[in-house]
Chains A and B, each alone.
Chain A
Amino acid sequence: MKLNKISNLLLATTIALTVSAAAQAQSRDTIQIAGSSTVLPFSSVVAEEFGNNFAQFRTPVVGSGGSSGGLRQFCQGVGANTIDVANSSRKIRPNEVEACKENGVKEIIEVKIGYDGIVFASRTDAALFKLEPQHVFLAQAAEVPQNGKLVANIYTRWNQIDKNLPDQEILLAIPGSNHGTREVYEEKVVIPGCETLPLVQAMEKDAAKKVCTAMRTDGRVVEIAGDYTETLARLTAQKDAIGVFGLSFYEANRDRIKVATVSGVEPNLDTIISGEYPVSRPLFIYVKGAHIGVIPGLQEYAQFHVSEGMSGFGSVLESAGLIPLSDDERAQMTQNIKLKKSL
């Protein structure tokens, strides 16, 4: 008898659970965010402060998955089972805007939240690097110019590329293609470095691009699909490896890694704001306009993100490693959110 009662009780609870699940499915009162792992630490801080400051809204939930992954989720459609904000460390691509529109995501509000530098770093016990974009290209390319011809990459040590570089094995740990950082790495370092070569300059545009982006496949360049901690683990395991990191990650781990200068400039807040350091990029959040007014607090969250206390100079995010927008740019962003200015 006792057993029967227990099983009846279990049955009842199960049914109740399923019914309430169906009822819950209709609405959502927590903002859902996903995307770039570079933006994630910043967005998480904002989400937490937002939840703590606005008692009437719930704390937003921030997921990762890389810029491309986030934007793909963002463009899946409109409704409670799709995300509200996509974090991205690169600008949305035209084909992604198309995909969004096809799925009914018509209002995409682009909000720039600040800048981030990309640094090349090695272990503190490794040699100091003074890199030029050309060095990086020659280290990672599939084919390099040799006696006026393109041949399969012959370089195995950095000092073969340039006598002034350390005599050290070439090992590069770069972000995987799911990361927005990868695109910036290619656009700001590899391609400019490639285009300094006379042989490439003489080529047609399409052919040149192919040469510039083709990567060697002999294991000297490793694509890291995970977070920067994975890149750091690679450096810990291999003394000669050079990793590509965000500036904020380097700042938090200065006791373990040191940065290389690029084109003679050391990366830090000042050189990135002034634009002297060449490898920096803006960070974005993309807000789903159709969800404003449906998901409570979405507009407030976006505005809070670009408020002075959060991402201005001397703000919480600056101390977390974000390079702030100028006050004018920030005012512009706030305006865009208020007017729901869509792409």
Chain B
Amino acid sequence: MTIIAENPIKAVATPSLVQQKVIASLSKRHRKEKLFRRLGLSAVLISLGLVAVLFINIFSRGVPAFWQSAITLDIYFDPAIIKIPAKPEQQAEESDNDFRQRYLAWQTDVGFVNFNRLITDSLQTILPDASKHRRDLARFVTSGERFALRDMVVADPSIIGQRRTLHLLTDANIDVWLKGNIDRSLPDEQQQLSPITRQWADKLSADGIIQNRFSFALFMNPDSRSSLASAGLAGAFMGSFYMMLVVILLAVPMGVAAAIYLEEFAPRNKITDLVEVNINNLAAVPSIVFGLLGASVLIGWFNLPMSAPIVGGLVLSLMTLPTVIIATRSTLKAIPPSIRQAALGLGASKMQAIFHHVLPLAIPGILTGAILGVAQALGETAPLLLIGMKSFVASVPASPFDQASALPVQIYLWQGNELRNFFEARTSAAIIVLLMMMISLNGMAIWLRKKYEKRW
């Protein structure tokens, strides 16, 4: 006993050979540690810096696109221009289908009215010498707005003969000009707009008739190519929404069920080992492979429609499945065995022990895994390109079987649009919308975990 107690005291007085070595290497070891800490810190700082650059870049470009040039016009629904038959009413003996046909024919009739005349007539009252430049005048307000006027008439024909003050979107190039997204000092031949249009835009903007208004079009409209200023994300958003719905309905219950079976019921043998290895492999398969599968099997064999969210959802479900299974299994593994044993000890069946006791405790973990899987699927683009979702779709899908685009694909499509000056900002705005959705999904996962987390 005394020897052991004596040794440290001795070491201070006259260090042994080993201790001398340790003392000599001490400063070197400390230096190494300092270096490693600095390296780690700089790695963190560099990655944070890169993320900051990315965000500043996207936000500085994209945020202005949430506001868009709109002109305030006093529109007179001139009965001399809008000459349409009375809106059809359903007769007592008429079948629904006949009425629908008649109604659609009437709508087509209304579509033939030159609603652009209403806009140009109104513009002429506020613009000097407008009649000399009819072509420029006709292009001043973006062409999609004439359908907004038509829809107002279709909804309520009694509007004919009345005046309405409306905010109409200007042409995309006017927005670009007023925001300074094109070099204003360029000579005429390099400008997109005619000199007179630029003059008009500047004058109306100075008078406050053209103002930067919040762009509801960006959220309410589907994509557009004939009226670029009114291109929006509504179609892509609904497409993504339906796909996520399919993923949540398919991948989550299937994944959770598979995980429960594998973790709690399956016998441990070579087959289950093989299944386990394959699930882990599946999680590492590049997503584009699932796209090829979708194109050849789902569209080719099962004759599902092309560019439809149902196919996209099925493909993304396959992709998300392993993520959900792995997350659920690790959550189940983390539940203390004492809970199972206690339930079994009190006479519960295995099924009851799992469903009444283990699973409720595992729910926060399962939800976190599922939400992260869904968020990953939301941002996925590659497989969708292969199943025809890279298409231009100018309508909002009404069901998962209608043709649609998806948010990340819409970003890709806008990135390829030829009117760069306008769509560079629009693309960044779409990225911001997608990022916000991802961040809120991830935030929800964290919140759920924190809220229901239990410690043993």
Q: Using CB atoms and an 8 Å cutoff, list the residues of chain A in contact with chain B.
A: 3-4, 7, 10-11, 13-14, 17, 20-22, 24-26, 28, 30, 32-34, 37, 40-41, 44-45, 47-49, 51-56, 58-59, 61-65, 79-81, 83, 124, 226-230, 232, 248-249, 252-256, 258, 316, 319-320
Rank and list the top 10 A-B pairs by shortest CB-CB distance, nearest first. Answer: A63-B391, A55-B107, A44-B225, A25-B303, A45-B226, A48-B394, A227-B416, A62-B392, A61-B403, A59-B395
Are A49 and B226 in contact, with the CB atoms below 8 A? yes
Distance in angstroms between the alpha carbons of A79 and B300 in the assembled complex: 11
Quick one: which of B252, B392, B400 has the most chain A CB within 10 A? B392
CB contacts under 8 Å to A, within B157-192, are 182-183, 186, 189-192
Q: Is B305 an interface residue, CB under 8 A from the partner?
A: yes
Are B302 and A25 in contact, with the CB atoms below 8 A? yes
Q: How far is the CB of B244 from chain A (nearest CB, A)?
A: 14
Q: Is B379 an interface residue, CB under 8 A from the partner?
A: no
Q: How far is the CB of A72 from chain B (nearest CB, A)?
A: 13
29 contacts between A and B (CB under 8 A): A3-B360, A17-B246, A17-B249, A17-B250, A17-B310, A24-B401, A26-B303, A34-B391, A40-B392, A41-B225, A44-B225, A44-B394, A48-B225, A48-B227, A52-B147, A56-B108, A59-B394, A80-B303, A80-B305, A226-B416, A227-B416, A228-B418, A252-B418, A252-B420, A253-B421, A255-B183, A255-B186, A316-B226, A320-B226
Chain A residues positioned under 8 Å from B303 (CB to CB): 25-26, 79-81
Distance in angstroms between the alpha carbons of A28 and B166 in the assembled complex: 38
Quick one: which of B226, B246, B300, B402 has the most chain A CB within 10 A? B226
Are B391 and A14 in contact, with the CB atoms below 8 A? no
Distance in angstroms between the alpha carbons of A32 and B226 in the assembled complex: 18
Distance in angstroms between the alpha carbons of A248 and B403 in the assembled complex: 28
Chain A residues positioned under 8 Å from B64 (CB to CB): none
Are B225 and A63 in contact, with the CB atoms below 8 A? no
Contact with A along B249-276 (1 / 0, CB 8 A): 1101100010000000000000000000
B: number of interface residues (CB 8 Å)? 57
Are A81 and B305 in contact, with the CB atoms below 8 A? yes
- Given contacts A17-B249, A49-B226, A51-B394, A252 and B419 within 8 Å (CB-CB): yes
Q: How far is the CB of A99 from chain B (nearest CB, A)?
A: 17
CB contacts under 8 Å to A, within B419-453, are 419-421
Q: Is B415 an interface residue, CB under 8 A from the partner?
A: yes
Distance in angstroms between the alpha carbons of A232 and B285 in the assembled complex: 33
Q: Is B288 an interface residue, CB under 8 A from the partner?
A: no
Quick one: which of B111, B190, B250, B393 has the most chain A CB within 10 A? B393
Distance in angstroms between the alpha carbons of A55 and B225 in the assembled complex: 19
Are A63 and B394 in contact, with the CB atoms below 8 A? no
Q: How far is the CB of A42 from chain B (nearest CB, A)?
A: 9
CB nearest to B151 among chain A residues: A52
Partner of B111, one of A34, A55, A80: A55
- Given contacts A63-B307, A252-B420, A47 and B189 within 8 Å (CB-CB): no
Chain B residues positioned under 8 Å from A62 (CB to CB): 391-392
Q: How far is the CB of B5 from chain A (nearest CB, A)?
A: 62
Q: How far is the CB of B191 from chain A (nearest CB, A)?
A: 7
Distance in angstroms between the alpha carbons of A56 and B390 in the assembled complex: 25
Are A59 and B393 in contact, with the CB atoms below 8 A? yes
Besides the contacts A34-B391, A56-B101, A255-B190, what 9 more A-B pairs have beta carbons closer than 8 Å? Answer: A25-B305, A41-B418, A48-B225, A61-B393, A79-B303, A253-B418, A254-B189, A254-B190, A258-B190
Distance in angstroms between the alpha carbons of A14 and B253 in the assembled complex: 10
Are B418 and A255 in contact, with the CB atoms below 8 A? no
Are A7 and B253 in contact, with the CB atoms below 8 A? yes
Distance in angstroms between the alpha carbons of A288 and B192 in the assembled complex: 38
- Given contacts A24-B305, A53-B111, A229-B416, A81 and B225 within 8 Å (CB-CB): no
Are A21 and B394 in contact, with the CB atoms below 8 A? no
Distance in angstroms between the alpha carbons of A85 and B12 in the assembled complex: 91
Are B147 and A44 in contact, with the CB atoms below 8 A? no
Are B104 and A55 in contact, with the CB atoms below 8 A? yes
Chain B residues positioned under 8 Å from A30 (CB to CB): 402-403
